[in-house]
Every structure is written in structure tokens, then in C-alpha cells.
Amino acid sequence: MSSLDTVVVDQATSGPRWRAYLILGALSLVWGTSFILIKKGLSVYPPTQVACLRMAISALAFTPVMILHARRLDWSKLPFLLFVGLTSSAIPAFLFANAQLHISSSMAGILNSLTPLFTLVLGVLFFRTVFSWSKVSGVLLGLGGASLLIIMGSSSGLEGDIGWGFLIVLASLCYGAGTNTIGTYLREMNSIQISAFSFGLTGIPLFLYLFAGTNFTQILQEQPRAWEALGYITILALVGTVTASIIFFKLIQRTSALFGSMVAYMMPMVALLWGLLDGEPIGWPHMGGMALILCGVYLSRR
């Protein structure tokens, strides 16, 4: 394990249990901004290019790490790394970018909250996760709380074509498969290696496709807000993908796939707290929703 991994990530997830909850909250804060950054990118670039840019920038950022760790990589893990890259990032990036053109953020938020449920079901069926009623109760309580917060905080309603919403459901299913793969088959592997090679295996081909198979360079030259939108996507990639993935993968290794997936429940709560800071009122239904989420997260760790 490298000194960078030890200092930045390992210390954060070891020690008292409250650190795991703190990291979960920090990840929800980072990923809670992903939706607006995707929306900013879609204002200029088509969905395919937004997804390709997100993955390509992430892969480029990880390229030095891939070169540095190539000799120390356990190459027998390569199929699992490719699977994680596809299910945890590449496929969901395309699904979210396309879906958010046709459904409201409220609907996307509720459908994304299915991630812990899929993580639990896939874990029990295919990844030897031990079934327990406390975990089931935690998942259901969190799902109910997240749905309540999203519905109460929705100003535009649950708008959109449910057919496109199915893409978010499929992305949530992918997240569940990816997190379980890390927790089962990559638990002892350096989390920076997991991130670098999983993104590299999927992002580098998409980088080549971006320039060879799309009109990205033409948009960049002709659209007046192209560079601004590219900046938003770069922030999305470097903060919401590169940095957050390293911490998230380590969190899964130190806790469980199910606990890590509970970040999907925390994101609506973060949005509500941002609204409170901006002067928006919070009522008892909001308090009840947050209480359900916190209880669900606690039960998922038992």
C-alpha cells in the first residue's frame, strides 16, 4: 500500500465507527452536487459527450497512478476491475446523462435511492452477503425517508417519462453490482489501484471515441459556453469521480457494500440542509424523513 493511500484514505476509515458515518456524509455532499454539474454540462454537450468527458478526464487523471502501480498490480483481478469500471462509473454515466434530459431531478433522486435495495438483494443472491432483518429494515426505512424528503422538497413534481426513468433504475442496479464486487473480490486491494485501473480500462477507450467518433472539437470551437460547460464537467470528474471514488471504495472495504450504498439516502438530506441554510423552511415531515434515513443508515451497519 502506498503512503498516499495510507495518509489520505486509510486513516480516514480506520478507528472509531463515527468516522465511517462522517465519510458517508462527506460523500453525500460531494455526490449531491453531481446532478447540477451534469445538468450544466448537458446545456452545451449531448449526453454521450458528457459521459465520455467525465470518464476520459477521470482516466487521464489516473494515468500516472496506473503507470506507477502497473508492476505491483495483481493482474488476476483485472476482470473484476473492468467490471467495477463498467458498473460503478461508465454505464451509469451514460444512463444518467441520457435520463436527465427527460425526467425531473425529483424522479431521478427517488429512483437513485433504489441503490441500497439493489445492493442488498444482489449481495444476498450472488455475493454471499449474510441476510439479516436489521439490514432489510435499514434499507426500507432509508428508502421511505429519502422518498419523503424528495417528494416534500419537489417544486416541479415527479415529472418525466417513466421509460427514461428506467435508465436510472438500471444505473442503480449497476451501482449495486459494482459495490458488491469491491466488497467481495477486491477487499484487500489498494483502493487507489481499484480506482485507477477501473477508470483507466473504461475511460481511455471513451477518450479515443470522444475525438474520433463525436463532434466534440467542433462544439468546443463554435459554442460560446463550451469551455464553461467543460469546466463543470471537469469538476464533476476530478472531485465527484476521481477523489470520491477512492474514498468510497475504501469505505466499502472497511465497512460493507450495503453501508457504502446508503450514500444514496443521504443525498436528499444534504439537499434539504442546503435549503435550510438558504432560508427555506423545514417542517415535521422533513424531520421525519431525516430521522428515517438516519435510522436506516444505523441499522445497515449492524
DSSP conformation letters of 92-144: HHHHHHHHTTTB-HHHHHHHHTTHHHHHHHHHHHHS-PPP-HHHHHHHHHHHH
Instruction: Give pairs for 201-205: CB < 8 Å, separation 24+.
Output: 201/78, 201/81, 201/82, 201/85, 202/55, 202/59, 202/82, 202/85, 202/86, 202/89, 202/90, 203/55, 203/56, 203/57, 203/58, 203/59, 203/60, 203/62, 203/85, 203/90, 204/56, 204/59
**Domain assignment of residue 54, yes or no:** yes
pLDDT at 257: 87
Residue 236 CA, chain-centre distance (Å), reads 11
Residue 176 confidence (pLDDT): 92
pLDDT at site 105 = 65
The cell for 222 is: 463554435
Last residue of a domain, which of 230, 245, 261? 261
pLDDT, residue 159, reads 54
Residue 149 belongs to a domain: yes
Residue 136 in any domain: the answer is yes
Residues 96 and 108 in one domain: no
pLDDT for 34 = 79
Burial of 96 per CB tally in 10 Å (0-12, 13-18, 19+): buried
Q: Let me know if residue 230 belongs to a domain.
A: yes
Residue 194 lies in a domain: yes
Among residues 231, 246, 261, the one where a domain terminates is 261
CA distance 196 to 119: 23
Same domain, 80 and 195: yes
Q: Are residues 92 and 113 in the same domain?
A: no
Q: Give the per-residue pLDDT at 207.
A: 92
Distance from chain centroid for Cα 72: 27
Q: How many domains does the chain have?
A: 2
* 81/198 same-domain check: yes
Task: Name the residue among 248, 24, 262, 27 with its Cα closest to residue 143.
Answer: 262
Is the same domain home to 200 and 240?
Answer: yes
- In a structure prediction context, what are the per-residue pLDDT tens digits for the chain, which is 302 residues long? 444 444 334 444 445 577 888 888 888 888 877 777 888 898 999 999 999 999 999 999 999 999 998 888 888 999 999 999 999 989 998 998 888 788 766 677 777 888 888 898 899 899 888 878 888 888 888 788 777 776 765 554 445 566 788 898 899 999 999 999 999 999 888 889 999 999 999 999 999 999 999 999 999 999 999 999 999 999 999 998 899 998 889 889 888 888 888 888 787 777 666 666 656 666 777 777 777 777 877 777 66
Helix/strand/coil for 45: coil
Prediction pTM value: 0.80
Whether residue 153 sits in one domain with residue 140:
yes
Give the domain extent around 250: 33-101+163-261
234 with 169, same domain: the answer is: yes
pLDDT in tens, 69-109: 888 888 899 999 999 999 998 999 899 888 878 876 667 77
> Does 97 reside within a domain?
yes
114 and 235 in a common domain = no
Both 255 and 169 in one domain: the answer is yes
71 and 138 inside one domain: no
Q: Which three cell numbers stand for residue 113?
A: 435511492
**120 lies in the same domain as 140:** yes
Give the pLDDT score at 72.
86
Report helix, strand or coil for 160. strand
Beta-ladder partners of 103: 160
Confidence (pLDDT) at 14: 46
- What is the predicted pLDDT for the residue at 301? 67
Residue 297, in any domain of the structure: yes
- Residue 2 forms part of a structural domain: no
Claim to verify: residue 182 and residue 227 sit in the same structural domain: yes
